[in-house]
């Protein structure tokens, strides 16, 4: 059964999409079968995976709002992971979902059909705690929270932790905080170490040991529609996400492909 992670933080620009695309590619490099779901109407994870968001036949919208079988929304990427792409249509899904039955659990029900095809399903959430994010949190086993070590970051985290607690108490009692990931990390900044220490104190071993450094290759790669691993595999950013994939695999030893293929058979 796949492990499903929602990559969430209602703050924009903290590295959610960068983490999704690069973690997906790094898990594939570790022979894991991965499905990435772009639930952000901005479609950045779609573009960053080399798929044109303006030229989609189907997308996550059709899965959520029209109950299209999930297999029919999956496309493969050159980096070896599968993708359910997203674009502006997801904004309509967000509104339409409000009037539908079982609106929080649409994604969870849809994903049940492919749960033994993948080792990991990674969901890129929009920068808000809206119905799309709630669908991701209801479908997920764990929430991966990317954050920058800056002063207001901790304040923003409490709203997300409250939402996670609410979902635990209602739709998804097994939901866990999978991990807190420090992104755009600059150890020379004294505030960084201060915030880091607070995160360590509050989240303990749920704080990933891997930190993602600020690295220009990570920012450049999306304009080529590639994860950093396929753009400059020796870059600090690519290497950091490989380390994160290893750390996650160590936490989930069961999520290991029984076959050595890194691509799911469609
Ligand atoms: P979010 O999805 O949370 O809005 P993104 O992943 O899109 O955040 O990142 C915001 C911006 O910062 C993007 O332009 C991205 O390329 C850049 N970025 C993300 N992580 C890094 C990093 N570690 N080093 C340098 N730039 C980064
Ligand atoms: Mg994003």
Ligand 2: centre distance to CA 19 (Å): 9
Ligand 1: centre distance to CA 263 (Å): 27
Q: Is 18 in the pocket of ligand 1 (CB under 6 A)?
A: yes
- From the list 1, 71, 67, 14, the residue with the least C-alpha distance to 40 is 14
Residue spans of alpha helices (H) in the chain: 16-29, 44-48, 60-66, 89-97, 106-111, 131-139, 153-169, 190-203, 216-220, 228-231, 236-251
Ligand 1: centre distance to CA 14 (Å): 6
Ligand 2: centre distance to CA 121 (Å): 16
Residue-wise over 236-254: b if at least 16 C-beta within 10 A, else e?
Answer: bbbbbbbbbbeebbeebee
In a domain, residue 260? The reply is no
Residue 214 CA: nearest ligand 1 atom is 24
Let me know if 102 is exposed, middle or buried by CB neighbors in 10 A (0-12, 13-18, 19+): exposed
Residue 262 has pLDDT above 90, yes or no: no
In a domain, residue 258? The reply is no
Residue 221 CA: nearest ligand 1 atom is 16
Q: Is 17 in the pocket of ligand 1 (CB under 6 A)?
A: yes
pTM of the full structure? 0.95
Residue 3 has φ and ψ, to the nearest 5°, of -90, 130
- pLDDT tens readout for residues 73-122: 999 999 999 999 999 999 999 999 988 889 999 999 999 999 999 999 99
- pLDDT tens readout for residues 131-181: 999 999 999 999 999 999 988 878 888 889 999 999 999 999 999 999 999
Averaged pLDDT, 238-262: 81
In a domain, residue 265? The reply is no
Averaged pLDDT, 200-210: 95
Cα separations in angstroms, 239 against 7, 11, 23, 47, 243: 20, 25, 11, 22, 6
Confidence of residue 263 (pLDDT cuts 50, 70, 90): very low
Measured between alpha carbons, how far is 188 from 193 in angstroms, rounded to an integer? Answer: 8
Q: Are 58 and 86 within 8 A, CB to CB?
A: no
| Domain at 72, CATH number | 3.40.50.300
Residue 213 has pLDDT above 50, yes or no: yes
Q: Is 153 in the pocket of ligand 1 (CB under 6 A)?
A: no
In a domain, residue 266? The reply is no
Strand-by-strand arrangement of the 142-148 sheet: 75-76, 82-84, 34-38, 120-124, 3-7, 142-148, 176-185, 207-213
Residue 190 has pLDDT above 50, yes or no: yes
Closest Cα to atom 16, ligand 1: which residue?
Answer: 219
What domain count does the chain have?
1
In a domain, residue 138? The reply is yes
CA dihedral sign of residues 158, 164, 169, 171: positive
Ligand 1: centre distance to CA 226 (Å): 14
In a domain, residue 257? The reply is no
In a domain, residue 207? The reply is yes
- pLDDT tens readout for residues 152-162: 878 888 889 99
Closest Cα to atom 13, ligand 1: which residue?
Answer: 219
Q: Is 15 in the pocket of ligand 1 (CB under 6 A)?
A: yes
Query: 3-class SS at 174?
Result: coil
The strand pair at 142-148 and 3-7 is best described as parallel
Half-sphere exposure of 87 (CA within 13 A, CB side): 13
> Domain range for residue 176?
3-251
Q: Is 14 in the pocket of ligand 1 (CB under 6 A)?
A: yes
Residue 258 has pLDDT above 80, yes or no: no
Closest Cα to atom 26, ligand 1: which residue?
Answer: 219
Q: Is 148 in the pocket of ligand 1 (CB under 6 A)?
A: no
In a domain, residue 224? The reply is yes
Ligand 2: centre distance to CA 18 (Å): 7
């Amino acid at each position: 059964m796949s492990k499903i992670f929602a990559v969430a933080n209602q703050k924009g620009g903290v590295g959610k999409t960068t983490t999704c695309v690069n973690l997906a590619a790094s898990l594939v490099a570790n022979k894991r079968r991965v499905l990435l779901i772009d639930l952000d109407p901005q479609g950045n994870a779609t573009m960053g995976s080399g798929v044109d968001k303006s030229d989609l036949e189907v997308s996550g919208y059709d899965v959520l709002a029209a109950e299209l079988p999930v297999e029919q929304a999956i496309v493969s990427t050159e980096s070896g992971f599968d993708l359910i792409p997203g674009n502006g249509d997801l904004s309509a899904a967000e509104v339409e979902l409000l009037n539908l039955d079982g609106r929080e659990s649409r994604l969870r029900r849809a994903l049940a059909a492919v749960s033994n095809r993948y080792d990991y399903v990674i969901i890129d959430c929009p920068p808000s705690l809206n119905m799309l994010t709630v669908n991701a949190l209801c479908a997920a086993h764990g929430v991966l929270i990317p954050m920058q070590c800056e002063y207001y970051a901790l304040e923003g985290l409490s709203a997300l932790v409250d939402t996670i607690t609410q979902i635990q108490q209602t739709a998804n009692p097994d939901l866990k905080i999978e991990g807190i990931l420090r992104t755009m990390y600059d150890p020379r900044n004294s505030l960084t170490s201060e915030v880091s220490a607070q995160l360590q104190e509050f989240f303990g071993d749920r704080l990933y040991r891997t930190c993602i450094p600020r690295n220009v290759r990570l920012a450049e790669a999306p304009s080529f529609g590639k994860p950093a691993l396929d753009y400059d595999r020796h870059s600090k950013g690519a290497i950091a996400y490989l380390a994160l994939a290893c750390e996650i695999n160590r936490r989930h030893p069961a999520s290991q492909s029984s076959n050595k293929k890194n691509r799911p058979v469609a």
